[in-house]
Amino acid sequence: MFTSINIPQLGIRYEQPVGLFINNKFVKSKNGSQIDTINPSTGEKTASFYAAGAADVDDAVKAAKHAYDEVWSKTSPSERSDLLWKLVELIERDKKLLAALETLDSGKPYHSNALGDLEQIISVTKYYAGAAGKIGLGKQIPISQDKYAVTFQVPYGVVGQVVPWNYPLAMASWKMQGCLAAGNTIVIKPAENTSLSLLYFAQLLVEAGFPPGVVNVVPGHGGEAGTALASHPNVDKVAFTGSTNVGKLVMECAGKSNLKPVTLECGGKSPAVVFEDAKIENAVEWCAMGIFYNSGQNCTANSRIYVQESIYEKFLEAFKSHATKTWKFGAKRDPFDEDCTVGPVISESQYKRIKGYIEHGVKEEGLQVETIHELPPDSKGYFIQPTFFTNVPQNSKLNREEIFGPVAVISTFKDEDEAIKLANDTDYGLASAVFTQDIGIATRFVRDIKAGTVWVNSSNDEDISVPFGGFKMSGIGRELGEAGMETYLQTKSAHFNITV
């Protein structure tokens, strides 16, 4: 149930699990179907792993339910905390290999991106290891001299989780660690094109001492495995990160099955608004990072940049200069290269989709476009140059739809009222950023923007202690911080009559 994989750039050869992880064992799928995982930097096959079908998901849910009923629901917060602290040690031990798997599988730059993901995963695990037993405590409510009530926050039981391909292990950790600390068991489905790191991670859960069935990993196609998980009558809650369209389907499946509650973190079209009093260099650096980091494959990417008219040309000049110096493929076009800060996009289909948006902007809308670092014609992999369009009208397709690649649209605004109107003119509401030295402008922007996260004079620098989630079609519920554990707890009330 393992295959040998070589990563010559780092001198690593290791044994990769390729089975479904159910009840602390790697097993074949019942129908024997497999999925090929492709290295996006070369377009070549890395490995094949087994793909879960509905019957396999059912097995995983049964294992999770049995583990919850017989073992996990009886553990104390301190026991769960101890297991998570052991997991921290193991992640730190295998940090370089786990980061390498993220680079191999998703194409993200190893030095400037993947290693940073692992540092965040370690921090998240430490946070919830410390939070177990400290968050979600009950309280007593005096009602009368003869009666009082007590509220408790208790686990749901079996939680189904579905995570995306842009941050495979980080998004899984955002969900799993808080869920485990809260006392639930898990069946989690990674994205079909980035399953390697979570399958390897499953071994660490066993080594840490998590009982069989507490965490089950079922890679597979979303239409089959994901639907089976969201629809399963013995799954008590489902948490999903991915596109808005799929989020709608998850919510529909949850409602039609057992009306299970959902947490959704979906798409975004996040604005960054730069006022004329902003420090240009600071705004440029953050805006470029906010759209080109992870090759623009971020739900919170500031893909719409609005700049006040008086500094527009100055901003454009500085933006292009900075991006040219900072965001580059590296001489080898290899994400393991220390000079690489922009990797390939995830897949051939995503490559064609992003290219389609760029071609539409140029050919159909006649927009002005700038690209950085031209690629040679023999370039391998799914690399797309950092790209930005200028003077883009608000009704442009590129301004309305989530591209999910290294493509920004940059437009102007006249004053504060127009800025907030343009920023809010979207179906999404995941994140936003504002750049200004005026505390009044900043405060009003924070008040009036319809987004779950607002950055003032920065962008995309979330912290694990701060709740994260969206407004409007960007989702339901919150992750990280106390919310990342409380979202996996439900309230129970008990009434005590003491005069009987």
Q: What letter would DSSP give residue 466?
A: S
Whether 223 and 329 map to the same domain: the answer is no
Instruction: Tell whether 225 and 241 lie within a shared domain.
Output: yes
Range of the domain at 72: 2-266+475-493
What confidence tens digit (pLDDT) does each residue in 403-440 have?
Answer: 999 999 999 999 999 999 999 999 999 999 999 999 99
Same domain? 281 vs 212:
no
Catalytic residue among 192, 265, 285, 486: 265
Determine which helix (DSSP H) or strand (DSSP E) holds 238, and give its type and residue range: strand 237-241
Q: Please report, in angstroms and rounded to a whole number, the separation of the first and last CA atoms in the chain.
A: 61
Tell me, yes or no, whether 346 and 393 share the same domain: yes
Is residue 468 one of the residues assigned to a domain? no
Count of Cβ atoms closer than 10 Å to residue 258 Cβ = 12
Identity of the amino acid at 20: L
Percent of the chain whose pLDDT exceeds 70? 100
Query: Do 459 and 482 belong to one domain?
Result: no
Of 239, 189, 254, 191, the closest CA to residue 215 belongs to 189
499 within a domain of the structure (yes/no): no
Does residue 185 lie in a domain region?
A: yes
Selection from 155, 97, 168, 92 nearest residue 126 by Cα: 92
Lowest mean pLDDT among 132-136, 157-161, 242-246: 132-136
Model confidence band, residue 71 (pLDDT cutoffs 50, 70, 90): very high
Among the ranges given (65-69, 131-135, 255-259), the one the predictor scored with the smallest mean pLDDT? 131-135
Is residue 365 annotated as a catalytic residue, yes or no? Answer: no
Whole-number Å distance between alpha carbons of 200 and 213: 16
Report the CATH number that the domain containing residue 397 is assigned in CATH.
3.40.309.10
Q: Are residues 249 and 341 in the same domain?
A: no
- In terms of domains, do 487 and 444 share one? no
Torsion, CA 149, CA 153, CA 157, CA 160, rounded to 10: 140
Q: Count up the domains in the chain and report the number.
A: 2
Task: Report the DSSP beta bridge partners of residue 49.
Answer: 35
Residue 470 covered by a domain = no
Indicate whether 214 and 322 sit together in one domain.
no
Residues 197 and 327 in one domain: no
CATH number of the structural domain spanning residue 254: 3.40.605.10
pLDDT, one tens digit per residue, over 442-479 is 999 999 999 999 999 999 999 999 999 999 999 999 99
Q: Is residue 431 part of a domain?
A: yes
Same domain membership, residue 200 and residue 258: yes
220 pLDDT higher than 80 = yes
Q: Is 127 helix (H, G, I), strand (E, B) or coil?
A: helix
- Per the CB < 8 A criterion, the answer to whether 408 and 303 are in contact is yes
Tokens representing residue 142 in the block: 């005096």
- So what's the pLDDT on residue 333? 87
Is 321 inside a domain boundary? yes
Tell me what the mean pLDDT of segment 207-219 comes to. 98
Q: Which H or E element spans position 424?
A: helix 416-424
> Cα–Cα distances in Å, from 164 out to 101, 214, 265?
15, 21, 10
Q: Is the pLDDT of residue 377 over 80?
A: no
The answer to whether residue 469 sits within a structural domain is no
Q: Could you tell me if 176 and 42 lie in one domain?
A: yes
Q: What is the Cα–Cα distance from 115 to 345, expressed in whole angstroms?
A: 18
The whole-number pLDDT of residue 137 equals: 76
pLDDT at site 205: 98
- Mean pLDDT across the chain: 96
Residues 280, 239 share a domain: no
Residue 310 lies in a domain: yes
